[in-house]
Amino acid sequence: MAWNIVIAGGGFAGANAARELEKQLPRQSSRLILVNDVNFLLYTPLLPEAAAGTLEPRHVVTPLRDILHRTNLRLGVVDGHDRDSRSVTVRSHTGETDQIAYDHLILAPGSISRFLPVPGLTEHAVGFKSLADAIYLRNHVIETLEMANATEDSSLRDELLTYMFVGGGYAGLEALAELQDFAADAMQHYPKARLHGMRWILVEAADRVLPEIDRELADYAVAELTSRGIDVKMGTTLEEVTATSARISNGEEIPTRTVVWTAGVAPHPALRNLAVPLDERGKVIVDSRLAVEGMEGVWALGDAAAVPNPAGGVCPPTAQHAVRQAPVVANNVAAAIGIGHSREFTYEGGAAFVNLGRYKAVGKIGDRKFSGFKAWWLARSYHMSQIPGLPRKIRAVIDWTASLPFSRDLSEVGSIGRPGVLSPDRYARGGSHRPVEGELPAAGRDRDQAGKDSGSEDS
């Protein structure tokens, strides 16, 4: 008899669980199916570097088919679960649905950005969670520099050269640090913009940043950022966003055309359709063996699960935890099938690094703290050991090495993947590479239009 094992989600948790199961279960007695909505694993810790152009965007993803050898990859989403018949519903990108029976089901759909009802947020802010977000932001920052250099209007320059990030977790803090470092280097090519000066702001509701890591290292990262002139506003919230401004809780109205929303994550909403017990935040309730409470043969891990943290509470939503939970869930599925013994998740965290720009980072291993190039190099070595797949490791090292002697690449290639309409009118309107009308990012819209947008917000 062959056991059917279905894994929902191919990120750090799900893909690594599949790889471990491939090692631990005999081929002839197990069938592994991984359902994921894209055919690659996004290595998020390096996403800020893709945004800053230090790494090629494609080099921060690993094709799942390269690292999975006998797992059947199904592109689609798991959006239904029948506990009685022990089957899940898989919806493919073509819209077709399929019932797949399982003996063991592993839930690892990760998380999404946490949304709050801030007026104007959906219309005028961007997130930072996907490859598309990273590519968009890079092009947007270059475009703001180009426009700020071209205009003679000082208040427009204020809007263009002010960048606000809301939420000081890994995603927000690292993305802000990398992009500010990129823009500071790029400024030498934009003399008028440089004369005006930039403003980078991090807004954080709590009294500290980086809740995922220990406070000492988080404070160390803030000290680095403030020494670079970044304005870190703790205990502050975003109250409203328009196309040209952001209002924060101290009453300040800040002119800006860049608001990046990185205010934490929430468990993937698909979990609500999967008939599993959820805690008050929407995470799947599991025990320290990663078994779902009260359900035989159903397991959960990663950002989607409330995994008891040996250090107290539940594990923070980090790749470090997800990667270390994967072999535990694989081991326990194997044990349930009769191979080996089950074990508990015991990882408490040791080393942590925070990337703050090209050759800049802070880090901590045990009690030792590092900063600057040394921390950056240690962080790179750590990421090299973690990026799945040898080809991706080599490509990333080549990118880092190649960027050493060269200045930053400033090409604004926002039209990639958005071909214009095949029509002579497009050329008649001037240029040949611009996206079709109506698709320009906020920074590129003309001022009157932006004013109208913010006017309609107010009304």
Q: Which stretch binds ligand FAD (CB under 6 A): 63-71, 146-154, 311-319, 429-437?
A: 311-319
Cβ 107 to ligand FAD, closest distance in Å?
9
**Distance separating alpha carbons of residues 194 and 186, to the nearest angstrom:** 9
Position among 6, 160, 319, 337 found at the interface with ligand FAD (CB under 6 A): 319
Q: Is 320 in the site for ligand FAD (CB under 6 A)?
A: yes
Comparison of 244 and 325: residue with beta carbon closer to ligand FAD = 325
Q: Is 268 in the site for ligand FAD (CB under 6 A)?
A: yes
Q: Is 128 in the site for ligand FAD (CB under 6 A)?
A: yes
Q: Is 325 in the site for ligand FAD (CB under 6 A)?
A: no
Q: Which stretch binds ligand FAD (CB under 6 A): 98-106, 166-174, 219-227, 337-345?
A: 166-174
**Distance separating alpha carbons of residues 257 and 241, to the nearest angstrom:** 9
**Distance separating alpha carbons of residues 146 and 85, to the nearest angstrom:** 59
Cβ 147 to ligand FAD, closest distance in Å?
26
213: left (phi over 0), alpha (psi -120 to 50) or beta: beta
Compute φ and ψ for 241, nearest 5 degrees. Answer: -125, 140
Closest CA to 125 of 240, 248, 259: 259
Q: Are 60 and 78 in contact (CB under 8 A)?
A: no
Q: Is 337 in the site for ligand FAD (CB under 6 A)?
A: no
Q: Is 44 in the site for ligand FAD (CB under 6 A)?
A: yes
**Distance separating alpha carbons of residues 113 and 133, to the nearest angstrom:** 12
Position among 3, 5, 6, 12 found at the interface with ligand FAD (CB under 6 A): 12
Q: Is 244 in the site for ligand FAD (CB under 6 A)?
A: no
Position among 121, 322, 328, 375 found at the interface with ligand FAD (CB under 6 A): 322
Q: Is 375 in the site for ligand FAD (CB under 6 A)?
A: no
Q: Which stretch binds ligand FAD (CB under 6 A): 156-164, 169-177, 416-424, 444-452?
A: 169-177
Comparison of 10 and 388: residue with beta carbon closer to ligand FAD = 10
Q: Is 333 in the site for ligand FAD (CB under 6 A)?
A: no
**Do the bridges between strand 238-241 and strand 245-248 make them parallel or antiparallel, or are there none, so unpaired?**
antiparallel
Q: Is 284 in the site for ligand FAD (CB under 6 A)?
A: no
E strands, 273-371, in order: 284-285, 298-300, 305-306, 351-357, 360-365, 368-371
Residue 397's contacts (CB-CB under 8 Å, 6 or more residues apart) are 384
E strands, 292-378, in order: 298-300, 305-306, 351-357, 360-365, 368-371
Residue 91 CB neighbours (<10 A): 16
Q: Is 78 in the site for ligand FAD (CB under 6 A)?
A: yes
Q: Is 332 in the site for ligand FAD (CB under 6 A)?
A: no
Q: How many residues bind ligand FAD (CB under 6 A)?
A: 36
- Token pair in block for residue 43: 């290595």
Q: Is 328 in the site for ligand FAD (CB under 6 A)?
A: no
Q: Is 165 in the site for ligand FAD (CB under 6 A)?
A: no
Q: Which stretch binds ligand FAD (CB under 6 A): 141-149, 275-283, 316-324, 444-452?
A: 316-324
Measure the N-to-C terminal CA separation of the chain; round to a whole number of Å.
66
Q: Is 108 in the site for ligand FAD (CB under 6 A)?
A: yes
Cβ 115 to ligand FAD, closest distance in Å?
15
Q: Are 383 and 46 in contact (CB under 8 A)?
A: yes
Position among 171, 246, 298, 356 found at the interface with ligand FAD (CB under 6 A): 171
Q: Determine the residue with CB nearest ligand FAD.
A: 11
Compute φ and ψ for 345, nearest 5 degrees. Answer: -85, 120
**Distance separating alpha carbons of residues 10 and 247, to the nearest angstrom:** 38
Q: Is 458 helix (H, G, I), strand (E, B) or coil?
A: helix
Q: Are 88 and 8 in contact (CB under 8 A)?
A: yes
Q: Is 36 in the site for ligand FAD (CB under 6 A)?
A: yes
Q: Is 35 in the site for ligand FAD (CB under 6 A)?
A: yes
Q: Is 14 in the site for ligand FAD (CB under 6 A)?
A: yes
Burial bucket for residue 255 (CB in 10 Å: 0-12, 13-18, 19+): middle
Comparison of 44 and 236: residue with beta carbon closer to ligand FAD = 44
Q: Is 13 in the site for ligand FAD (CB under 6 A)?
A: yes
Q: Is 102 in the site for ligand FAD (CB under 6 A)?
A: no
Q: Which stretch binds ligand FAD (CB under 6 A): 55-63, 300-308, 386-394, 397-405?
A: 300-308
Residue 149's contacts (CB-CB under 8 Å, 6 or more residues apart) are 190, 191, 192, 193
Cβ 283 to ligand FAD, closest distance in Å?
11
Q: What is the contact surface with ligand FAD in residues (CB under 6 A)?
A: 8-14, 35-38, 44-45, 47, 77-79, 108-110, 128-129, 170-171, 174-175, 268, 270, 302-304, 317-320, 322
